[in-house]
Structure 1
Amino acid sequence: MKREYTVIIERDEDGYYVADVPELHGCHTQATSLDELMSRVREAIELCREVQKPVRHRKQLIGVQRIAV
């Protein structure tokens, strides 16, 4: 069954793209290009879905905000 996931993408200090999938605890990956990252994050999601059991009270991501103080 297909399902949509939120993927947070950041770039680290070494220039790697880093992806985190908040809906799947511990599901993250990195790559040197965005194309490679998206391929790897799809694979990571599939693997995380295989090993994680559904949890009824899992947190749901509402949004990501930037704030300047």
Structure 2
Amino acid sequence: MNFMIEIEQEEDGRLIAEVIDFPGVLAYGQTREEAVARVQALALRILADKLEHREVTPELVSVVAALQ
């Protein structure tokens, strides 16, 4: 599984990264790298929870950034 991350810059200068396939999974950062790292960590926590509750099959999972 691969999940795409969209990154946008807010008016205040912060960057927001969002995992498109997981509604509500977003994170802010002062830099692109910080926002991506935070949203990847959050997405992986959610995937781990879904695996524990057998909501997804245990496959090799990765979260990748797609620049837009």
Asked if Structure 1 and Structure 2 have the same fold, meaning a TM-score greater than 0.5 normalized by the shorter chain, the answer is: yes
Superposition pairs for residues 1-69 of structure 1, below 5 Å? 3-52=1-50, 53-54=55-56
Note the residue ranges of structure 2 that are not aligned, 5 or more in a row: 57-68
If asked which structure has higher relative contact order (CA below 8 Å, sep 6+), I would say: 2
Partners of 1:21 and 1:42 in 2: CA distance: 8
Q: Aligned to 2:12, what secondary structure does the other structure show?
A: coil
- Runs of 4+ displaced beyond 3 Å: 50-54
Q: Aligned to 2:2, what secondary structure does the other structure show?
A: coil
Q: Which amino acid aligns with 2:8?
A: E
Note the residue ranges of structure 1 that are not aligned, 5 or more in a row: 55-69
Q: Aligned to 1:6, what secondary structure does the other structure show?
A: strand
CA RMSD of superposed structures (Å): 1.5
User: Normalising by the residue count of structure 2, what TM-score does the alignment of the two structures yield?
Assistant: 0.64
Deviation at 1:37, TM superposition (A): 1.4
More helix by share: 2
Partners of 1:48 and 1:24 in 2: CA distance: 9
Identity %: 21
